[in-house]
Amino acid sequence: PTIHHRLVSLPEAKTYDLSHMRLLTSGSDRLPDELFRAFQETFGHTLLERYGMSETGMLTSNPLHGERRIGSVGLPLPGVAVRIVDTETGEPLPDNVVGEVQVRGANVCKGYWQQPEKTAVAFTPDGWLRTGDLGLRETDGYFTLKGRSKDLVISGGFNVYPPEVELVLAQHPAVAASAVIGCPDAEWGELVTAVIIPHPHTPVSAAAIIAHCQQHLVNYKVPRRVLFVETLPRNALGKIQKAQLRQELCDHPTT
Protein backbone atom coordinates (compact mmCIF):
# COMPACT_ATOMS: atom_id res chain seq x y z
CA PRO A 1 0.00 0.00 0.00
CA THR A 2 2.91 2.38 0.57
CA ILE A 3 3.86 2.20 -3.10
CA HIS A 4 0.25 2.57 -4.25
CA HIS A 5 -0.16 5.65 -2.06
CA ARG A 6 2.95 7.24 -3.56
CA LEU A 7 1.75 6.53 -7.09
CA VAL A 8 -1.67 8.06 -6.46
CA SER A 9 -0.02 11.10 -4.86
CA LEU A 10 2.08 11.91 -7.94
CA PRO A 11 0.99 15.25 -9.43
CA GLU A 12 1.03 13.72 -12.90
CA ALA A 13 -0.64 10.43 -11.85
CA LYS A 14 -3.71 10.79 -14.06
CA THR A 15 -1.58 11.34 -17.17
CA TYR A 16 -0.26 7.76 -17.11
CA ASP A 17 -1.89 5.18 -19.36
CA LEU A 18 -1.93 1.79 -17.61
CA SER A 19 -4.33 0.12 -20.02
CA HIS A 20 -1.56 -2.28 -21.07
CA MET A 21 -1.23 -3.60 -17.50
CA ARG A 22 -3.04 -6.89 -16.94
CA LEU A 23 -3.04 -7.10 -13.15
CA LEU A 24 -2.02 -4.90 -10.22
CA THR A 25 -1.89 -6.43 -6.74
CA SER A 26 -1.50 -5.32 -3.15
CA GLY A 27 -0.11 -7.13 -0.12
CA SER A 28 2.25 -6.92 2.88
CA ASP A 29 -0.14 -4.64 4.77
CA ARG A 30 -3.83 -3.74 4.82
CA LEU A 31 -5.00 -1.68 1.86
CA PRO A 32 -7.03 1.31 3.13
CA ASP A 33 -10.50 1.58 1.60
CA GLU A 34 -9.89 5.16 0.47
CA LEU A 35 -6.66 4.15 -1.28
CA PHE A 36 -8.45 1.25 -3.01
CA ARG A 37 -10.98 3.72 -4.43
CA ALA A 38 -8.41 6.41 -5.22
CA PHE A 39 -6.24 3.97 -7.17
CA GLN A 40 -9.26 2.75 -9.12
CA GLU A 41 -10.31 6.30 -9.97
CA THR A 42 -6.79 7.46 -10.86
CA PHE A 43 -5.53 4.52 -12.91
CA GLY A 44 -8.68 2.63 -13.91
CA HIS A 45 -7.48 -0.57 -12.23
CA THR A 46 -9.12 -2.48 -9.39
CA LEU A 47 -6.32 -3.65 -7.13
CA LEU A 48 -6.29 -7.33 -6.25
CA GLU A 49 -5.58 -7.65 -2.53
CA ARG A 50 -4.15 -10.88 -1.18
CA TYR A 51 -2.55 -12.32 1.95
CA GLY A 52 0.57 -14.35 2.57
CA MET A 53 3.63 -14.81 4.77
CA SER A 54 7.30 -15.64 4.33
CA GLU A 55 6.55 -19.00 5.99
CA THR A 56 3.76 -19.86 3.57
CA GLY A 57 3.78 -17.93 0.32
CA MET A 58 0.33 -16.79 -0.76
CA LEU A 59 -2.60 -18.01 1.35
CA THR A 60 -5.69 -16.12 0.22
CA SER A 61 -6.54 -13.85 -2.68
CA ASN A 62 -9.38 -11.94 -4.17
CA PRO A 63 -10.31 -13.58 -7.48
CA LEU A 64 -8.80 -12.64 -10.83
CA HIS A 65 -12.28 -12.94 -12.35
CA GLY A 66 -14.95 -12.08 -9.81
CA GLU A 67 -15.57 -9.71 -6.93
CA ARG A 68 -12.47 -8.00 -5.58
CA ARG A 69 -13.98 -7.06 -2.26
CA ILE A 70 -12.81 -3.84 -0.69
CA GLY A 71 -11.23 -4.42 2.72
CA SER A 72 -10.95 -8.18 2.19
CA VAL A 73 -7.99 -10.45 1.41
CA GLY A 74 -10.28 -12.82 -0.44
CA LEU A 75 -10.66 -16.58 -0.45
CA PRO A 76 -8.21 -19.40 0.43
CA LEU A 77 -6.16 -20.56 -2.55
CA PRO A 78 -6.45 -24.20 -3.69
CA GLY A 79 -4.82 -26.56 -1.20
CA VAL A 80 -4.80 -23.98 1.60
CA ALA A 81 -6.90 -24.37 4.74
CA VAL A 82 -7.64 -21.29 6.86
CA ARG A 83 -9.47 -21.17 10.17
CA ILE A 84 -10.26 -18.56 12.83
CA VAL A 85 -9.76 -19.63 16.45
CA ASP A 86 -10.20 -18.15 19.91
CA THR A 87 -6.94 -16.52 20.97
CA GLU A 88 -7.21 -17.99 24.48
CA THR A 89 -8.67 -21.48 23.98
CA GLY A 90 -7.65 -22.24 20.40
CA GLU A 91 -11.18 -23.41 19.64
CA PRO A 92 -12.58 -22.66 16.14
CA LEU A 93 -14.89 -19.64 16.02
CA PRO A 94 -18.08 -19.11 13.98
CA ASP A 95 -18.22 -16.78 10.98
CA ASN A 96 -17.97 -13.02 11.53
CA VAL A 97 -16.19 -13.37 14.89
CA VAL A 98 -12.64 -12.00 15.21
CA GLY A 99 -9.93 -14.42 16.30
CA GLU A 100 -6.45 -15.61 15.37
CA VAL A 101 -5.85 -16.72 11.79
CA GLN A 102 -4.35 -20.21 11.56
CA VAL A 103 -3.35 -21.91 8.30
CA ARG A 104 -2.38 -25.34 7.04
CA GLY A 105 -1.32 -26.75 3.67
CA ALA A 106 1.52 -28.10 1.55
CA ASN A 107 2.76 -24.55 1.04
CA VAL A 108 3.35 -24.01 4.78
CA CYS A 109 6.91 -24.48 6.02
CA LYS A 110 7.66 -27.40 8.35
CA GLY A 111 9.34 -25.20 10.92
CA TYR A 112 12.19 -22.80 11.58
CA TRP A 113 15.70 -24.01 10.74
CA GLN A 114 17.48 -25.22 13.86
CA GLN A 115 14.97 -23.40 16.10
CA PRO A 116 12.84 -26.16 17.66
CA GLU A 117 11.54 -23.92 20.45
CA LYS A 118 10.28 -21.29 18.01
CA THR A 119 8.74 -24.02 15.85
CA ALA A 120 6.92 -25.52 18.83
CA VAL A 121 5.38 -22.15 19.68
CA ALA A 122 4.43 -21.34 16.07
CA PHE A 123 2.58 -24.59 15.33
CA THR A 124 -0.35 -26.28 17.04
CA PRO A 125 -0.02 -29.99 17.94
CA ASP A 126 -2.19 -30.89 14.93
CA GLY A 127 -0.06 -28.91 12.48
CA TRP A 128 -1.74 -25.50 12.09
CA LEU A 129 0.54 -22.46 11.81
CA ARG A 130 -0.32 -19.68 14.25
CA THR A 131 0.03 -16.60 12.04
CA GLY A 132 -0.28 -14.01 14.82
CA ASP A 133 -2.80 -12.15 12.65
CA LEU A 134 -6.33 -11.34 13.77
CA GLY A 135 -9.19 -11.66 11.34
CA LEU A 136 -12.61 -13.08 10.58
CA ARG A 137 -14.30 -15.26 8.01
CA GLU A 138 -17.43 -13.91 6.38
CA THR A 139 -20.35 -16.24 5.71
CA ASP A 140 -19.47 -16.55 2.02
CA GLY A 141 -15.87 -17.55 2.75
CA TYR A 142 -14.08 -14.23 2.22
CA PHE A 143 -11.52 -13.35 4.90
CA THR A 144 -10.86 -9.94 6.45
CA LEU A 145 -7.78 -9.09 8.52
CA LYS A 146 -8.03 -6.89 11.61
CA GLY A 147 -4.34 -6.50 12.42
CA ARG A 148 -1.56 -8.23 14.32
CA SER A 149 -2.45 -9.71 17.71
CA LYS A 150 0.62 -8.03 19.20
CA ASP A 151 -0.65 -4.64 17.96
CA LEU A 152 -4.13 -5.03 19.48
CA VAL A 153 -4.91 -2.14 21.84
CA ILE A 154 -6.92 -2.95 24.98
CA SER A 155 -8.29 0.29 26.40
CA GLY A 156 -10.67 0.28 29.35
CA GLY A 157 -11.28 -3.43 28.79
CA PHE A 158 -12.33 -2.96 25.14
CA ASN A 159 -10.46 -4.36 22.14
CA VAL A 160 -9.41 -1.70 19.63
CA TYR A 161 -8.14 -2.94 16.25
CA PRO A 162 -5.69 -0.31 14.92
CA PRO A 163 -6.58 -0.76 11.22
CA GLU A 164 -10.18 0.30 11.93
CA VAL A 165 -8.99 3.58 13.43
CA GLU A 166 -6.36 4.06 10.72
CA LEU A 167 -9.03 3.75 8.03
CA VAL A 168 -10.95 6.62 9.62
CA LEU A 169 -7.80 8.71 9.95
CA ALA A 170 -7.04 8.14 6.25
CA GLN A 171 -10.33 9.85 5.39
CA HIS A 172 -9.17 13.14 6.91
CA PRO A 173 -7.73 15.42 4.17
CA ALA A 174 -4.82 16.53 6.37
CA VAL A 175 -3.56 13.00 7.10
CA ALA A 176 -0.88 11.70 4.74
CA ALA A 177 -0.15 8.53 6.75
CA SER A 178 -0.89 7.21 10.20
CA ALA A 179 -0.30 4.43 12.69
CA VAL A 180 -2.35 3.64 15.78
CA ILE A 181 -0.65 2.16 18.84
CA GLY A 182 -1.46 1.55 22.49
CA CYS A 183 0.56 3.38 25.13
CA PRO A 184 0.56 2.17 28.75
CA ASP A 185 -1.77 4.10 31.05
CA ALA A 186 -2.57 3.59 34.73
CA GLU A 187 -6.29 4.31 34.32
CA TRP A 188 -7.13 2.81 30.92
CA GLY A 189 -4.51 0.08 30.65
CA GLU A 190 -3.60 1.43 27.23
CA LEU A 191 -4.38 4.76 25.58
CA VAL A 192 -5.38 4.70 21.92
CA THR A 193 -2.64 6.83 20.36
CA ALA A 194 -2.65 8.13 16.78
CA VAL A 195 0.74 8.86 15.22
CA ILE A 196 0.24 11.01 12.13
CA ILE A 197 2.25 12.38 9.23
CA PRO A 198 0.28 15.49 8.17
CA HIS A 199 0.00 16.56 4.56
CA PRO A 200 2.44 19.39 3.74
CA HIS A 201 0.88 22.85 3.84
CA THR A 202 -2.29 21.49 5.48
CA PRO A 203 -2.45 22.71 9.07
CA VAL A 204 -4.27 20.40 11.47
CA SER A 205 -4.57 20.10 15.23
CA ALA A 206 -4.92 17.16 17.57
CA ALA A 207 -8.37 18.45 18.52
CA ALA A 208 -9.47 18.41 14.87
CA ILE A 209 -8.27 14.83 14.44
CA ILE A 210 -10.09 13.70 17.58
CA ALA A 211 -13.28 15.49 16.49
CA HIS A 212 -13.10 13.75 13.10
CA CYS A 213 -12.74 10.35 14.75
CA GLN A 214 -15.64 11.04 17.10
CA GLN A 215 -17.90 11.39 14.06
CA HIS A 216 -17.03 7.91 12.77
CA LEU A 217 -16.02 5.75 15.75
CA VAL A 218 -17.52 4.63 19.04
CA ASN A 219 -16.01 6.45 21.99
CA TYR A 220 -13.55 3.80 23.16
CA LYS A 221 -11.92 3.63 19.71
CA VAL A 222 -11.33 7.39 19.46
CA PRO A 223 -7.64 8.31 19.95
CA ARG A 224 -6.98 9.97 23.29
CA ARG A 225 -3.51 11.08 22.22
CA VAL A 226 -2.42 12.46 18.84
CA LEU A 227 1.24 12.78 17.92
CA PHE A 228 2.50 14.46 14.75
CA VAL A 229 5.73 13.17 13.18
CA GLU A 230 7.68 13.69 9.96
CA THR A 231 8.28 10.00 9.23
CA LEU A 232 7.09 6.56 10.31
CA PRO A 233 9.59 3.70 10.71
CA ARG A 234 9.10 1.03 8.06
CA ASN A 235 10.78 -2.24 7.15
CA ALA A 236 11.99 -3.25 3.68
CA LEU A 237 8.44 -4.24 2.69
CA GLY A 238 7.03 -0.88 3.71
CA LYS A 239 5.31 -2.15 6.87
CA ILE A 240 5.17 0.32 9.73
CA GLN A 241 7.22 -0.86 12.70
CA LYS A 242 4.79 -0.32 15.55
CA ALA A 243 7.01 -1.87 18.21
CA GLN A 244 9.60 0.80 17.44
CA LEU A 245 6.92 3.50 17.59
CA ARG A 246 5.76 2.31 20.99
CA GLN A 247 9.33 2.32 22.27
CA GLU A 248 10.07 5.80 20.93
CA LEU A 249 6.80 7.66 21.48
CA CYS A 250 4.78 6.27 24.35
CA ASP A 251 6.55 8.42 26.93
CA HIS A 252 6.07 11.64 24.92
CA PRO A 253 3.42 14.22 25.80
CA THR A 254 0.44 14.76 23.53
CA THR A 255 0.98 17.31 20.75
* pLDDT tens track for 149-173: 899 999 999 999 999 999 999 999 9
* pLDDT tens track for 20-53: 999 999 988 888 888 899 999 999 999 999 999 9
Could you give the CA distance from residue 217 to residue 214 in angstroms, rounded to a whole number? 5
Four-way CATH pick for 2-149: 3.40.50.300, 3.40.50.2300, 3.40.50.620, 3.40.50.12780 = 3.40.50.12780
pLDDT of residue 34: 85
Mean pLDDT for the chain? Answer: 93
| Helices of type H across 49-158 | 116-122
Architecture of 152-248 per CATH?
2-Layer Sandwich (3.30)
pTM, two decimals, is 0.80
Could you give the CA distance from residue 38 to residue 52 in angstroms, rounded to a whole number? 24
Could you give the CA distance from residue 113 to residue 186 in angstroms, rounded to a whole number? 41
- The residue type at 81: A
Residue 245 has pLDDT above 50, yes or no: yes
Please check whether the two domains, 2-149 and 152-248, share a CATH topology: no
Confidence of residue 140 (pLDDT cuts 50, 70, 90): very high
pLDDT of residue 155: 94
For β-strands 158-160 and 143-148, DSSP reports them as unpaired
Confidence of residue 233 (pLDDT cuts 50, 70, 90): very high
Domain extent listing, the chain? 2-149, 152-248
Average the pLDDT over each of 2-6, 54-58, 162-166 and give the range with the smallest value.
2-6
pLDDT of residue 253: 47
Residue 61 has pLDDT above 80, yes or no: yes
